[in-house]
Structure 1
Amino acid sequence: MATLEQIASLVEQGKTDAASKYPRGLIGQPGVRECVRELIAEGMDPLRILNEALTPGIRALGKKFSEGTVFVPELLLAAKAMKAGVEEVMPHLQAGDIKTRGTVLLGTVQGDIHDIGKNLVKMLLEGVGWKIVDLGANVPSANFVASALEHKPDAIGLSALLTTTMETMRDVVKQLRDAEVNVPVLVGGAPLSHAFASEINAHYGEDPQAAIDILDRLLPDAG
């Protein structure tokens, strides 16, 4: 019989379903998809599966990534497993059952086409209940402002991998403040630092898990 703890562990290990080839020690064994189906068939509340198995699993893996004990491939596999579980749960939830934490606007600033880091942040934040408005990569400063005014997010995340685009982040933050968009701004990317983030009135996340931690701290009652 499947358990909530087993599903959380399978998410953490990136075991999507029985056909998954990873992890090798679990080849042919049930994955997240099968275990979620089993618990739903037995009558377990699907919201409980989401809150007590799927979300804790992705959080645990995110913390390991932050600690440097797992890497991007493991994070991607865990996100895929989490998505499979959510796909099984969603048809059994009533409208209004899932209360999102709030909305986060994400994008890679203009001049930078790298989006792997942004996409990892997106997957983890979605996994713990945030609604994401993803603007993509190479986003002009004005687009961040327009989208912020349209969607009214609870926070905004800016990504940049190139040192040449760091100053663009400063411009985005300035334009947001000039437009009276005063929600927290998170910044991340290889060339950044806490000092730079503080200088531009933003919050620095050194990895995807840090984005979760910052939002938990700044917006504990969001949603």
Structure 2
Amino acid sequence: MKYIDQIPHFSHPQHKLKFEYTEIPFKCDGCGEIGIGSHYKCGPCDFDLHMHCALPSPSFCHPFYTKCSFQFMPRPPGGVPRYCNACEKDVTGFVYHCKACGFDLHPCCAKLPMVLDDGEVKLYLEKKLSSPCHRCGRKGRSWSYRSACRKYNLHVACVKEMLVESWHEIYFRRSGVGYRKLETKIPSLKGTLLQTHHRRKGKGKVQKCCEMAALALQFVISAVLGDPTTLIAGVIGSLMSN
């Protein structure tokens, strides 16, 4: 998809925002969530927006909520704490809200692809899991991605938690007299995925299963970060192995 090189945006009237691509994670100034890859940025002001936040749909309907009509809002309505019905995380900025049902979705959660397919791994977005999540071992909870073979299941909430754990201080860490920028790194897979279902498998099968689970995780992370592309999944894969 081709995007306009520069756009004006109501949330940053001082300057136009320029289309950029980055392999370094950023915090979106619209929704407050993490991003990577394609986005719009104001360099002088260090202002970043996910593609979904920079170019939102005024309204849309979601297959999981057929009776809802979600409207884009620059801030959560009602002046009370709200959470995203997709990932169960707090809503602090841009949001899609259904007035009739009271449901809320982060812009990137609202636009999560129903299918992630790179030709080798195909993952389907599910409203609730019927099998345990590889991360937490629980069913249900938030929206999830399930592989076509039904062996790999990951809650969207769990993927976000992995990112938060790795980037607890996304930009800055106290260092002596001031602050310094952190090196951003996607969390390692070591210790993050449950391996109990591998115990009865041979060594070769275990390795292959873990490789496929890692590939699945790469694509779910890239989708959660707002750029569900093969390119970004590859970047994330290289960062995960560092």
Pairwise TM-score range, normalised by the shorter structure? 0.3 to 0.5
Structure with more relative contact order (C-alpha pairs < 8 Å, separation 6 or more):
1
From the two aligned structures, give the one with the greater helix fraction: 1
From the two aligned structures, give the one with the greater strand fraction: 2
